[in-house]
Structure 1
Amino acid sequence: MKSHSTGTALGALGANFNEKLTWMDHGELERVNTQWIRGFIDMHQIDALHAPQDPNMQALFKAIDAGYKTILSFKWNYTNLSFPAVNSAGITTELECLDRVLPLVLGKVDILVIGNEPFIEVQQGHADARLNTFYETLADQVIRFRNAHGITSTRLYMGALNRLDLPAKRTPAIERMLQFIASKPELEGVDLHPHMPTLQGHRLMMDYVLPRLRPDQRFLATEFSLVWHWKKHLSDAVSTEFCARYGFPAGAKVHQVISAAMQKPWPYAQWEDFLSLEPWYIQCRSFITDAMRLYRSTGRLEVATYSFCPMRLRKLPLPANGDPWMLNGIYAPSTVQVRPDGSRYENFPWAEEFRKVQRGEL
C-alpha cells in the first residue's frame, strides 16, 4: 500500500469528485501528485442498510486503502422538502440514517463535513431558523456519536457556505451557523465553496467568515473556481483565428463552439487552441496558484480541493445561460477525445497549475 500521509494537512491541495467518487482514477491522481481526495454522499439517496455496498462508498474505501487522505461531506437535499420538526418522525429517520453510516466512516476518513451546500440545497424561503435547527441537530448527533465512541482521528467541519462575498448573502441564518460552529469545540471549522467571478470575491468571503470563527479554527475550500467569470463570456464571439483555422463560421459563440466539441469531441490540440485564444480565459491561467496563495496567506487553510471531473460524460448542448463547469477540471472533459490507450488528457492550463502548487511554486 502506498502511503500518502503528510502529518498536518495545513494548506494542502487535493482533488474534488463531488458525488462521482466512482470516477476516481488513481493513475490520474498520481500524475498530478495528489494526496487528498474529496467527495460527498447524498444521505437521501444512499441505502443506509447496505451502505458498504454503495459504489461511491466502495470507491472511497479503496482510496483510503491506497493511502490517500480523504474528506467526505454528507449532503441532505431539501430543495423540494420541508425540514422536519424537532422530535418528529422525519428527524428520527435522518438521525437513524446517520447512526448507520457514521460507524463506516468515522475513524477512516480524515475529515467529515456536516453538510454539502445547505443554503443552496434548501426549499425556497426555508433558508432561515428552520435550516439552522436541522443542521444543528445533525451536528450534535455526529458529535455525540463521535464522543461516545472515542473517535478523534476524524476531524469535523460544517458547511459548505457559498457567495459570502455578497452582503445580501450574509443573512441571520448564515450568522447563526457561523456562531454555532464557533461555539462547538469539537468542530475544527467551516467548509467554503468559493465559486466567484473574481479573486477579490474570494478575499471578501474569507474576510467575512474567518473573524467569526474561533482563532484556533480553520477552513476548507472543498470547491473553488471562476465558473461565474466563465459564464459571463458564453455569448462572446469566438476568436476569428480559431474559427478560420477550424472551420467555424465567423461570429460563432463560445457556448456554441463548446457544444460542438461535446457532441463530437476534438483532438486535444484543438481544445487547447480554443482556450488559449480566448482572452477572458487565458488571462486567468494562474487562478489555482493565485487562489492557493490567497488561502494559505491566512494561515488557516486546512485543505482546498479542486475539480477533477466536471461534465466528464456530458453530451447535451451548453446553452448561452448554462454553467460552464467543463472549463474548470484538472483533466479534459467530454469535449476532448481520449488518448489511444483510453486515458484522458490533462486540461489546459489547470493540470500544470495543480502540479506547481504541489511542488510549492507559489
Structure 2
Amino acid sequence: MATARSGGALGANYNEKLIWIKHDELRRVNAKWIRGFIDMHQIDSHHPDQDPNIKALFRAIDAGFNVILSLKWDCTKLNFPASGSSELDAELSILDRLLPLVLGKVDILVIGNEPFIEAKSDQRNDHLNEFYETMAWAVIEFRQKHNYAMTTRLYMGALNRLDLPFKRTPAIERFLHFIAVTPELEGVDLHPHMMTFDGHRSMLEYCLARIRPEQTFLATEFTMVWHWKEHMNNMVSSKFCTKYGFSPSTKNHEIISAAMQSPWPLEQWKEYLSNEPWYMQYRNFITDAMRLYRSTGRLAVATYSFCPMRMRKLPLKDDDTPWMLNGVYAPSTVRLRDDGSRWENFPWAEEFRRAQVEE
C-alpha cells in the first residue's frame, strides 16, 4: 500500500459519485488520491460487487490511484437501531458483505461520512455514539480476523463546523474520545467548510487536542463555501454586466443560473469570477489551507472537490449553497472542450497543482 507522505497528500473528492471518476482528469492535475463514499442504505446489500460506484472505485485502484472510502449511514429519517435488535443485525450483515470487497484494496476506510448531519436531531447523542462504536468494532474485528491491518488504515468521522462552540457537544466529545482510546484507529476525518481561516485553525486545534498525539487527521472535504454563500445576493460587477449585456442589477446567484442554463466559454466564466472581490479574496485557498493543515505535522490526506453539483437543478436560488464554484474542473457553467472533456476551473486547478508541488 502506498502511504501518504509526511507532509500530507492532496487528492480528489468525488463524494457519492465515484462513477464520475475520470483518470485523465486526475492525471492532468497530478492527483494520486481519490475519495468517495458509499451509502450503506442504498447499495445492493446482496450484490455490492455489482454497484457501479464500487466498480468505478476498483477501476481506479487498478489504474494505480490510492483510495479513501467512507461508509455513510443515512439516519436522517430513522432512529439508530438498538443493541441486539434485528435492525442492527441487518446493518451488520450489509457491512459483512461489503468489507471482504474493500478491505485490502482501499488504502483508508472511514467509518462514517457526516454522522452528526446524517442523523435526526434527537438522535445526536449516545444513540449515535453507540451505533458508530458498534460499526467501528465490527470493522476492526473483521480486519483483524482477515489480516488486513497492514493494507487498510481506519479512521472515523467526518466531523463538521467544530469551530462553533455550540457544536462541541457531549456526543462529539465521546466520538473523539472513542477515537483516542481505540488503538486500531489512525485518527479522525474532518470536513472543514468554514467562513474564515481562523475557523479552520480552531477546528483543528479542538480535534487534535482530543486524540492521541501520534494520531492523524483527514480533511476529505474543505472549502470556503459558506463565505461565498453570503455573497449570492450581491450584485455582479458592473464591468462584467456591461460587457456581456446583463442588467446592472443582476445578482450573483442569477448570473450563475444563467451560466448553468446556457454554459459559457471558459474565458467568460473566468472573467466573471475574477471581477468578484468576495471570490478572489480566497483565490489561493487550496494552497493556504494545505499549508495550515500540513503545519500541524498530522495531516494524512486532504481531498478537494472534483465533481461539484454536475446535476444541479435550475435556478440557483438566493439562499442556495453555491457548491459549483469550488471544483477543480469547471462545473456545469462552462462549455465542454471540443473533445467532450471538461475544462480546468479557475483558479482551483492551478491551485491544486501548486499544492501538489509544495507537498
TM over 0.5: yes
Find out whether 1:93 has 2:90 as its counterpart: yes
Q: 1:318 to 1:184 in 2, by over 3 A?
A: same
Aligned residues of 1:219 and 1:303 also touching (Cα < 8 A): yes
Matches within 5 A, 1:119-158: 119-152=116-149, 153-158=151-156
Aligned residues of 1:263 and 1:315 also touching (Cα < 8 A): no
- Residue in structure 2 matching 1:66, options 57, 63, 78: 63
CA distance, structure 2, for counterparts of residue 282 and residue 53 of structure 1: 43
Find out whether 1:19 has 2:16 as its counterpart: yes
Matches within 5 A, 1:164-313: 164-313=162-311
- Residue in structure 2 matching 1:80, options 77, 80, 95: 77
CA distance, structure 2, for counterparts of residue 6 and residue 179 of structure 1: 25
CA distance, structure 1, for counterparts of residue 47 and residue 354 of structure 2: 41
* CA-to-aligned-CA distance 1:204-252 (integer Å, 9 cap, x gap): 0001000100011000000000000000000000000000011100111
CA distance, structure 2, for counterparts of residue 208 and residue 312 of structure 1: 34
Any stretches of 5+ residues in structure 1 without a counterpart? none
CA distance, structure 2, for counterparts of residue 170 and residue 7 of structure 1: 29
Name the residue aligned to 2:30: 33
Instruction: Tell me the secondary structure at the aligned position of residue 292 of structure 2.
Output: helix
The amino acid across from 1:94 in the alignment is E
CA distance, structure 1, for counterparts of residue 138 and residue 157 of structure 2: 16
The amino acid across from 1:65 in the alignment is D
CA distance, structure 1, for counterparts of residue 168 and residue 3 of structure 2: 35
Q: 1:7 to 1:265 in 2, by over 3 A?
A: closer
Aligned residues of 1:315 and 1:334 also touching (Cα < 8 A): no
Aligned residues of 2:114 and 2:159 also touching (Cα < 8 A): yes
Name the residue aligned to 1:320: 318
Aligned residues of 2:187 and 2:211 also touching (Cα < 8 A): yes
Instruction: Tell me the secondary structure at the aligned position of residue 146 of structure 1.
Output: helix
Q: CA offset at residue 151 of structure 1?
A: 1.0
Aligned residues of 1:82 and 1:123 also touching (Cα < 8 A): yes
Any stretches of 5+ residues in structure 2 without a counterpart? none
The amino acid across from 1:188 in the alignment is E
Percent identity over the alignment is: 66
Q: TM-score, normalised by structure 2?
A: 0.98
Find out whether 1:48 has 2:45 as its counterpart: yes
CA distance, structure 2, for counterparts of residue 334 and residue 94 of structure 1: 36
Name the residue aligned to 2:332: 334
Q: CA offset at residue 313 of structure 1?
A: 2.9
Aligned residues of 1:9 and 1:303 also touching (Cα < 8 A): no
Q: CA offset at residue 124 of structure 1?
A: 2.0
Q: CA offset at residue 304 of structure 1?
A: 0.1
Q: What RMSD, in angstroms, separates the aligned Cα atoms of the two structures?
A: 1.1
CA distance, structure 2, for counterparts of residue 292 and residue 338 of structure 1: 29
Instruction: Tell me the secondary structure at the aligned position of residue 176 of structure 1.
Output: helix
CA distance, structure 2, for counterparts of residue 135 and residue 315 of structure 1: 33
Find out whether 1:351 has 2:349 as its counterpart: yes
Find out whether 1:103 has 2:105 as its counterpart: no
Q: TM-score, normalised by structure 1?
A: 0.97
The amino acid across from 1:176 in the alignment is R
CA distance, structure 1, for counterparts of residue 160 and residue 333 of structure 2: 28
Q: 1:10 to 1:156 in 2, by over 3 A?
A: farther
CA distance, structure 2, for counterparts of residue 233 and residue 159 of structure 1: 30
Q: 1:9 to 1:312 in 2, by over 3 A?
A: farther
The amino acid across from 1:257 in the alignment is I
The amino acid across from 2:132 in the alignment is Y
